[in-house]
Amino acid sequence: MVAKINKGSSLQGALLYNQEKVKEQQAKVLFSNRIMLNRDGSLNMYLANQSFAPYLNANKNTEKPILHISINPHPDDIVSDEMYSDIAQTYMEKMGLGDQPYIVYKHEDLDRKHIHIVTVNIDGNGRKIGDSNNFFQSKKITRELEKVYNLHTAEKKKHPEELPHPKRVDYQSGDIKKQIANVSKALIKNYHFQSVNEFRALLSLYGVTVEEVKGEIKGKNYSGLVYSAIDEKGEKVGNPIKSSVIGKSVGYNALQSRLEYSVKYMKEHKVFESPKLMVGSAIGNYTDKQTLLKDLAKNNINVVFRENTDGRIYGATFIDHQSRCVFNGSKMGKEFSANVFNELFKDDNDTTNRHQLIINPTDNTTKGSDADKPIDSFTENAEYNNNKEDSTIDLSLLEQHGTDYAEEAFTRRMENEEKKRKRAKFKGL
């Protein structure tokens, strides 16, 4: 079990983020503490805001008074609603937050069911509740809860095989919408990529592709995303699914927001150093393509080589699952560009399957597929095929302490809409 603690400044954003899940029937309220409710016991957004107001009004100086906590059991654990409620209450009490107003939501939008808790770190006297030791205290509490409820340990470094991960879409098993939703939500929320093409390369590891749809309604231009499942040959199967059907967190605006953030993140962090050493070492020990890819897979790196109809490599995209970053090889340096690999592989004896190659980092198998031309903007090529074979990638990032970027993007949209409403109201005076 892992607890993820996010601090923010928008109570409205945190509540609406969860209520949107409830509205979409992807979450429900388990219980609340010190929150005014409707007579029938249901949650009322106005009353919820009023319940938090005295705490927030008592201290205007704390920059980020909102705590948004998610508690994630191992996916193999069977946890009842009653047990989730007990876990949430015990966790809050041991964290020194038991007397605070809070709401507990159970999320079911991923294969990995989990709970979210919205609360504030300002007590009834207006004092900020200390949080300097939150990470270690939280980790200690989750270890204790695992023992009490006989749950799996979710220690990432010691038990990587037990970590939750999205599964490749099985289009023959049905429920394509839910499968695509699980994959797209997890990846857009937790990986960094600077172009739609890189996002598509990541998605295709799980049998999904994405395209942008542009049009005009009542004289206004609009842009949206459409997700599709792909088969073993990289061809689309089944009906395409609009992002609006899945949820705003995987829509056009959310993707743009993620791209913008990723550009900044990858510029500020040294994300290329480790993969550059690993790829350079693999190239230095090169004997054949398959061995090189397997060596990289052992270090949790996937490579997507794209080839034209003549078998020439025109693109190399790297997915580093350790840093959760996706990037073209040229971003590491010219020595890792597509032309270098095209030259490196030209004498390979394996010419029977000249396709895009993907490595499964868990079983170190290599499989192939076709790809068409790369797309560098939101204008998509409807003919584009991008296939990856069975892949099971470690997504421990889903359970790390840090910022919830999906929630931040949602909050920003809510704030922008509120500003627009205020401006419109002012103009009408």
- Asked whether the predicted pLDDT for residue 368 surpasses 70, the reply is no
27-36, 117-126, 149-158, 287-296: segment of lowest average pLDDT: 149-158
pLDDT, the chain, mean: 80
pLDDT of residue 421: 73
pLDDT of residue 160: 37
CA–CA separation, 70 and 352 (whole Å): 48
Confidence category of residue 366, pLDDT binned at 50, 70, 90: very low
CA–CA separation, 411 and 217 (whole Å): 26
Convert the pLDDT of each residue in 8-22 to its tens digit. 888 988 898 899 889
Q: Is 410 helix (H, G, I), strand (E, B) or coil?
A: helix
- Asked whether the predicted pLDDT for residue 162 surpasses 60, the reply is no
Among the listed residues 241, 143, 213, 202, the one whose alpha carbon sits nearest the alpha carbon of residue 328: 202
- Asked whether the predicted pLDDT for residue 279 surpasses 70, the reply is yes
Token representation of residue 171 = 């289009």
Length of the chain as a residue count: 429
Q: What percent of the chain shows pLDDT beyond 90?
A: 42
Tell me the pTM: 0.47
CA–CA separation, 230 and 236 (whole Å): 4
- Asked whether the predicted pLDDT for residue 94 surpasses 60, the reply is yes
Largest CA distance in the chain: 76
Residues 6+ apart with CB under 8 A from 204: 230, 234, 304, 386, 387, 388
CB atoms within 10 A of CB 10: 19
Confidence category of residue 170, pLDDT binned at 50, 70, 90: confident
More confident residue, 396 or 92: 92
150-164, 187-201, 408-422: segment of lowest average pLDDT: 150-164
77-91, 143-157, 365-379: segment of lowest average pLDDT: 365-379
Convert the pLDDT of each residue in 318-360 to its tens digit. 999 888 999 998 888 888 888 888 888 877 644 444 334 443 4
At which residue do the structure tokens 């609340």 appear?
32
* CB distance 324 to 192 below 8 Å: yes
CA–CA separation, 246 and 178 (whole Å): 8
| 377-387 average pLDDT score | 31
Phi, psi of 3 (to 5 degrees): -105, 135
| 53-65 average pLDDT score | 94
Q: What percent of the chain shows pLDDT beyond 70?
A: 80
pLDDT of residue 121: 96
End-to-end Cα, the chain, rounded Å: 53
More confident residue, 364 or 80: 80
pLDDT of residue 409: 55
138-147, 274-283, 366-375: segment of lowest average pLDDT: 366-375
- Asked whether the predicted pLDDT for residue 205 surpasses 80, the reply is yes
Phi, psi of 112 (to 5 degrees): -90, 95
* CB distance 103 to 37 below 8 Å: no
30-44, 238-252, 300-314: segment of lowest average pLDDT: 300-314
* CB distance 336 to 317 below 8 Å: no
- Asked whether the predicted pLDDT for residue 278 surpasses 50, the reply is yes
Token representation of residue 58 = 């008592």
> How far are the Cα atoms of 25, 29, 37, 144, 407 from residue 19, in angstroms, in the given order?
10, 9, 15, 30, 12
At which residue do the structure tokens 């999906």 appear?
406
